A = this chain, B = another copy of it.
């Protein structure tokens, strides 16, 4: 047989769940991971331990892979170009990934494409932040380092000129964005193949707590159909214009006056798409694998009227396995997804999915399980 080898760079939970989704396809899955304890390294057969920032390591890893894809967006662009020059397909490719690595490049390109964004520009120094604040109607404003941020890291909510100093300390360019008065956050998730085939998942509502995704509701309740279509078309257009291959998550603000604005995006399977594992005909992970292999994509439609995902964060209670007894006995339909990570307070260590016909019930079940696993409730 001529089943291909997919090389996955990065050993986090996205790689773990991508491997899980790839097993039924009979493909070979090779992992480049920092450590054998990494989430994906625990469950994958073929694991190379090495540093993705080292080109020689990447090249050695890529040998014998039919395609390279990613658990994260941190591989240096010049290394990806070198792999491409070696003849290894890199999906998504460097020309697309640069937009996910650099928020400055991302905003410039979105402006060019006429995509709706919060007002934004690169700011030179703390004084320039005050100028920007005046341009957008005053403080507060959002500052972001253009590179290296995730899950609320690298992002500052700045209320006064005095607070504008910190973001500049890292020596990385700083992007200022207006503080959008949004009513909720949405995510438009799509998957695109090299052929240009693309599928759009239903637009979801994403709720953050302390800058970290907490709950995703699929589909977003009471979302205007026209706005949902607009969000899906926007994600599809961005994927095509940027040449994205694989999963693209576009995180959006929905404003009180019924507009959507692009907040962030990610070119890989994304937390806002975890609900698809149990709630969609084809999961984001299965479709990501199909896309990077240029196979026809699977049906993205939901299998239940409502699916809810809640992240499980580490709490003070380290023995999450013991909590399975209560959670599984209480809800035989509950879907637990744990990542094999050590529990640290605030760390994402897993998520749960629930689905059904009654949104209130589906939400309560996911919330209860996530809280019980974390240890913030005991009954």
A residues sitting closer than 8 Å to B (CB atoms) are 1-4, 16-17, 19-20, 23-26, 28-29, 41-45, 47, 277, 281-282, 290, 295-299, 303, 318-322, 324-325, 328-329, 332-340, 342-343, 350
A350 and B26 contacting across the interface, CB-CB below 8 Å: yes
Task: Provide the residues of chain B in CB contact with A281, threshold 8 Å.
Answer: 332-333
Distance from A253 Cβ to chain B, minimum over Cβ atoms (Å): 31
4 interchain residue pairs of minimum CB distance:
A26-B338, A296-B328, A296-B329, A299-B332
Distance from A166 Cβ to chain B, minimum over Cβ atoms (Å): 35
Contacts A24-B20, A303-B303 given; does A298 touch B45 at CB 8 Å: no
Docked complex Cα distance between A282 and B334 (Å): 9
Q: Please pick, from B24, B25, B41, B320, the residue contacting A45 in the complex, using a CB distance under 8 A.
A: B41
B24 and A338 contacting across the interface, CB-CB below 8 Å: yes
One complex includes copies of this chain to the number of 2
Task: Provide the residues of chain B in CB contact with A1, threshold 8 Å.
Answer: 318-321, 342-343
Task: Provide the residues of chain B in CB contact with A335, threshold 8 Å.
Answer: 24
Q: Please pick, from B43, B298, B324, B328, the residue contacting A332 in the complex, using a CB distance under 8 A.
A: B298
Name A339's closest neighbour in chain B (CB-CB): B26
Docked complex Cα distance between A319 and B16 (Å): 27
Contacts A295-B328, A332-B297, A343-B1 given; does A43 touch B19 at CB 8 Å: yes
Task: Provide the residues of chain B in CB contact with A350, threshold 8 Å.
Answer: 26
Contacts A1-B321, A329-B296 given; does A24 touch B336 at CB 8 Å: yes
B340 and A26 contacting across the interface, CB-CB below 8 Å: yes
Contacts A297-B332, A332-B299 given; does A42 touch B45 at CB 8 Å: yes
Task: Provide the residues of chain B in CB contact with A2, threshold 8 Å.
Answer: 319, 321-322
Which has the most chain B C-beta neighbours within 10 Å: A23, A42, A303? A23
Task: Provide the residues of chain B in CB contact with A43, threshold 8 Å.
Answer: 19, 23, 29, 44-45
Distance from A358 Cβ to chain B, minimum over Cβ atoms (Å): 16
Task: Provide the residues of chain B in CB contact with A322, threshold 8 Å.
Answer: 2
Distance from A224 Cβ to chain B, minimum over Cβ atoms (Å): 27
B29 and A321 contacting across the interface, CB-CB below 8 Å: no
A24 and B337 contacting across the interface, CB-CB below 8 Å: yes
Name A352's closest neighbour in chain B (CB-CB): B24
B336 and A25 contacting across the interface, CB-CB below 8 Å: yes
